[in-house]
Structure 1
């Protein structure tokens, strides 16, 4: 598994990279088909937020599935442990779901620790020059762009994600894997761009988007 560690507004020390390389064996033990893991370490400069100053985001790509977890703490090592706990829980759910439903995926078998690949340092992308680049720039699958708006602290981030049409149930499952309160997808029943989102408790909502012209044609 390729492991990429980057820093956002902070320098990543070699000790942290070494710890990441060792602890990512937890991921390959549960998901041997994991191809790539991206770990982003960021720092919050506000002294009032010292207890959550270090933030670790982990994204794992296993086939067509993306599993994500993040956590904040006073130091990067605690944040890494918390994020890994969340990530491994979601990976186990993914593995169990594949076994239970037999939905055409290859069953994942727990084969024990797998030697991790060397950690790769990936430089942080340079910001673009204008906000228009964040909207109109050409991006490849998985690529992202960040633009700071003028002299304000506002940063616009745009990323291209390729996804096959899926059902609402599948979208809810994907939302749980990445740990977000919402998930953007194409509804295979209607072929419309749609969003599922968490409301409260076990209640969820769905938004679908269409143009007035398309709606008029269907009447």
Structure 2
């Protein structure tokens, strides 16, 4: 082994040791009808400690294991879901494999990519290139709704009471600017806000599409023909 390779390996080992030493997030591992050995908990804690460098506000990782009893799903019978909780919205990563180790590695990979993109988006930009934060967008929406309600009240237009409400009617309409994005980015945005679906403009087809969460721990995509 060359000196350069030895030094590189030593540096990587030192970085991992520092990441584990600085780890302060709590790791909770639970299973649905699954017994979790102590060595697996240690393995999970060591892996997740390295992800805290992307977001120092993370205070807890929730890891949930579940075994799929369907014999037809033997290759993907082990499911792992990881939820990172910090000051911002929760970020999740989940995957299925034939072993809990393989499913955990795949879920960590997804979670790491999403945390990395979140960190990149939080970087400071200047001028018009600065992205609008979720807090700012929510504040603007609240101001618009308040202004609309005030205008309606000033014009003598009264809101319908609950007694006058007729079911089956569209009572609210929202319009959002559509920025073309990939399916992966749409899934990321859906996971970031914690919704079960997300409407977006597909960058590939330039058509409106919807991604949604399925019950079998995977996702679906609806495209207009």
Unaligned 5+ runs, structure 1: 106-166, 185-194, 207-219
Match of 1:26 in 2: 50
Does the 8 Å contact 1:68/1:178 carry over to 2?
A: no
Q: Secondary structure at the match of 1:68?
A: strand
1:176 and 2:188 matched:
yes
CA distance in 2, matches of 1:35, 1:61: 6
CA distance in 2, matches of 1:3, 1:168: 38
**Structure 1 ranges of 4+ moved more than 2 A:** 100-105, 167-170, 172-175, 177-180, 195-206
1:93 and 2:117 matched:
yes
CA distance in 2, matches of 1:55, 1:74: 9
| Structure 2 counterpart of 1:52, from 76, 95, 111 | 76
Does the 8 Å contact 1:6/1:39 carry over to 2?
A: yes
TM-align CA RMSD: 3.4
Alpha-carbon distance change, 178 to 62 in structure 1, aligned in 2, over 3 angstroms: farther
Does the 8 Å contact 2:178/2:201 carry over to 1?
A: no
1:196 and 2:198 matched:
yes
1:56-71 → structure 2 map (5 Å cutoff)? 56-71=80-95
Q: Secondary structure at the match of 1:32?
A: coil
Deviates more, 1:9-18 or 1:63-72: 9-18
Give per-residue Cα distances to partners, 1:28-72, cap 9 Å, x unaligned: 021111122111000011222111111100111121221111001
Larger Rg: 2
Does the 8 Å contact 1:38/1:59 carry over to 2?
A: yes
Alpha-carbon distance change, 104 to 53 in structure 1, aligned in 2, over 3 angstroms: closer
CA distance in 2, matches of 1:178, 1:58: 16
Match of 1:212 in 2: none
Alpha-carbon distance change, 177 to 80 in structure 1, aligned in 2, over 3 angstroms: farther
* TM value normalised by structure 2: 0.50
CA distance in 1, matches of 2:85, 2:55: 10
Unaligned 5+ runs, structure 2: 1-24, 135-175, 211-225
Alpha-carbon distance change, 47 to 205 in structure 1, aligned in 2, over 3 angstroms: closer
CA distance in 1, matches of 2:177, 2:29: 33
1:6-45 → structure 2 map (5 Å cutoff)? 6-45=30-69
More helix by share: 2
